[in-house]
Structures are given as structure tokens and as C-alpha cells.
């Protein structure tokens, strides 16, 4: 059987972060043009990696999502790739340095949208194109999905991630389709929202119903689905990702509908205690991840206030 490439998103939680960490927030604090931001960031990355203490990419990230990705790598014959908003397309063996950059909105290190210049989130696609073309790993392996597909036209590709990341890479994916022998059989994209119409034939849309079935929270849903599909694909010696995903969807239709209960309103004191406990158990967790876990547990609190409380507690911890 041909090789399976599992391509999944990086995580906000990283080992080795410090005050000196390469962070996009240091470049976006002033009025800087989109071109200057790209040039400044790529130059900083390419200068820092050869001159810094590095860590294997597989050991950089942390959290439940990444733990599941590492489990898949350990248990099944796959090649693991990382969609990094700061470093581009990484192989799990790459030697990288801690950094802070994300396609998700609402963070100091979020990649801006430049809405006055670009429609919607289209700048994120430009950003992805530029950082993959200027990747410091170009001499080691393909640094774009297009190049990866061109080099491995007989292989299978499972791409799973949040809508923000899938949006950023959609042109890269679309450009690579021409190189696959049978893209319908070889490509599956797992995410929770609609995607570009050109990629809809490859979409496996995740939802809360599936999270209940897999007994995981929404943060780990896409990677948990990938783990299930990889297992079924390998164990059954399948050769068609599309058929396998359609069979899973059919099987899920027979499951009882999940009962949704309105979250219990929590006081500010209860939220403080919850966040503090969560940060002790998961030090690298982000505000978005914490809010989702909080709500999945049946709790309710206004999002903006939750983020303010989370930031205050996170910054006060030694």
C-alpha cells in the first residue's frame, strides 16, 4: 500500500516558550504593510533557525490534539506533516525553534487580515504561499502541499485542521490535485465548516455528533477522526479514502441524536477557579481552547469576559 501523509495543524501550546521567543506580535504592533510584514517575518525565521537552539518539531507542540497526532505516528505507517502559521509546512523531523504565530483570530500573534487590501481572509493564503516559498527547509523536503503531492503522486493525503488553517492552504491544496493519480481516492480534508467549492468533493465535515461518538471534545475532534480513519484504512487495506469516509458518515447516521443542554451560568468566582485549575493541568492551553472545554463541560459565561479573565490569570502565573 502507498504511504499515508497526515497533515494537521500546529497548536498554540508549545514547549520552550519564553520572553525571547520569536513572536509575530513583535512585528504587527505598529503600522506595517503586508509586504513588509512578510519580509520581516521570513527574514527573522531564516536567520534565527541556524543560530538558535532547536528542537524536533514533533516535540515542540503540546496538548491533546498533538498527543493524538503523535499516537497516530507511533501506531500506524504514516508520515506526519504540520501546518505551521509561522514556519510553513513542516515535517515532524524538522529541527525548529519555539515561535508564536497563528491563523486563528483574537491573539496578539494572530496574522492580520489586512481587510483594507484583501477580501475576507485572502491575505492568509498569500501569507501561506510566501512562507512556504521562503521556507528554511526547502533543501530538505517539499515545503508546500503542491510540491508534496507532486513528489508523491501515488500516496494518500489526510488533511485535518480548523477552518482558519484550511482557508489559508486551500489554493495550495487545489494546485496539488493535478499531480495525484486519482485525487478522489487519495485526498480527504477533515474540518468543521464548508470549504471552497473546488475542494468540496474531498470534504469530511466534522460536527459535535461525531465528538460524542468518539468521546472527545471539539478541540480534538478533527485529529480523532483522522486517527479513526487511518486505523480503518490501514486495517482494511483500503485504497479509497472517499469511499471509507462515506461509509463512516452512513454509519454515523444510525447513531441517536445528541441531546444539547443549555449551559449552566457560572459566576466570576467560579470561572476564576475553573481557569486556574485548567492552567495548572494544561499550562500551554489558549483562551479559545479553555473556553471550548469550559462550554463542553456544560458551563456558560460571556466569551469576552472569559477571555479577559483568562488573560489576567495566565499573565499572573509565575
184's CB contacts (< 8 A; 6+ apart) are 201, 202, 240, 242
> What confidence tens digit (pLDDT) does each residue in 175-218 have?
999 999 999 999 999 999 999 999 999 999 998 888 888 888 88
Looking at residue 89, its pLDDT comes to 98
Per DSSP, what are the bridge partners of residue 158? 6, 188
Residue 230 phi/psi, 5° resolution? Answer: -60, -45
Q: What is the pTM of this model?
A: 0.82
- Low-confidence stretches of the chain (pLDDT < 70) are 1-2, 30, 255-262, 317-318
Helical (H) or strand (E) element with 194: none
Looking at residue 2, its pLDDT comes to 66
CB-based contact 206:220 (threshold 8 Å): no
Per DSSP, what are the bridge partners of residue 91? 81
- What is the sign, positive or negative, of the torsion defined by CA atoms of 310, 218, 281, 301? positive
Q: How far apart are CA 172 and CA 203, in angstroms?
A: 15
| Residue 52 vs residues 69, 135, 141, 148, 198: alpha-carbon distances, Å | 26, 16, 21, 27, 41
Looking at residue 252, its pLDDT comes to 84
Beta strands in the chain (DSSP E): 4-9, 22-23, 55-56, 78-84, 88-91, 95-96, 99-100, 156-160, 187-191, 203-205, 264-265, 299-300
Looking at residue 317, its pLDDT comes to 66
Amino acid at each position: 500500500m502507498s504511504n499515508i501523509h497526515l497533515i494537521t495543524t500546529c497548536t498554540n501550546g508549545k514547549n520552550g516558550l519564553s520572553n525571547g521567543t520569536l513572536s509575530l506580535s513583535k512585528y504587527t504592533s505598529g503600522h506595517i504593510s503586508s509586504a513588509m510584514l512578510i519580509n520581516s517575518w521570513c527574514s527573522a525565521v531564516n536567520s534565527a533557525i541556524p543560530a538558535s537552539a532547536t528542537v524536533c518539531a514533533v516535540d515542540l507542540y503540546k496538548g491533546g490534539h498533538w498527543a493524538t497526532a503523535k499516537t497516530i505516528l507511533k501506531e500506524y505507517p504514516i508520515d506526519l506533516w504540520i501546518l505551521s502559521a509561522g514556519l510553513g509546512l513542516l515535517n515532524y523531523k524538522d529541527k525548529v525553534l519555539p515561535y508564536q504565530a497563528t491563523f486563528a483570530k483574537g491573539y496578539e500573534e494572530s496574522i492580520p487580515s489586512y481587510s483594507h487590501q484583501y477580501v475576507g481572509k485572502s491575505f492568509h493564503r498569500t501569507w501561506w504561499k510566501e512562507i512556504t516559498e521562503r521556507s528554511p527547509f526547502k533543501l530538505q523536503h517539499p515545503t508546500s502541499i503542491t510540491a508534496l503531492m507532486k513528489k508523491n503522486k501515488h500516496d494518500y493525503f489526510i488533511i485535518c485542521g480548523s477552518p482558519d488553517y484550511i482557508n489559508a492552504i486551500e489554493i495550495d491544496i487545489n494546485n496539488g490535485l493535478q499531480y495525484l493519480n486519482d485525487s478522489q481516492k487519495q485526498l480527504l480534508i477533515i474540518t468543521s465548516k464548508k470549504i471552497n467549492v473546488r475542494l468540496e468533493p474531498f470534504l469530511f465535515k466534522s460536527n459535535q455528533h461525531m465528538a460524542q461518538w468518539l468521546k472527545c471534545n471539539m478541540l480534538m475532534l478533527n485529529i480523532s477522526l483522522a486517527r479513526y480513519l487511518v486505523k480503518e484504512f490501514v486495517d482494511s487495506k483500503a485504497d479509497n479514502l472517499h469511499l471509507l469516509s462515506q461509509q463512516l458518515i452512513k454509519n454515523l447516521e444510525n447513531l441517536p441524536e445528541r441531546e444539547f443542554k443549555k449551559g449552566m451560568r457560572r459566576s466570576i468566582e467560579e470561572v476564576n477557579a475553573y481557569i486556574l485549575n485548567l492552567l495548572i493541568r494544561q499550562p500551554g492551553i489558549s483562551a479559545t481552547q479553555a473556553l471550548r472545554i469550559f462550554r463542553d463541560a456544560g458551563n456558560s459565561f460571556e466569551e469576552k469576559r472569559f477571555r479577559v479573565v483568562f488573560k489576567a490569570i495566565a499573565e499572573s502565573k509565575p
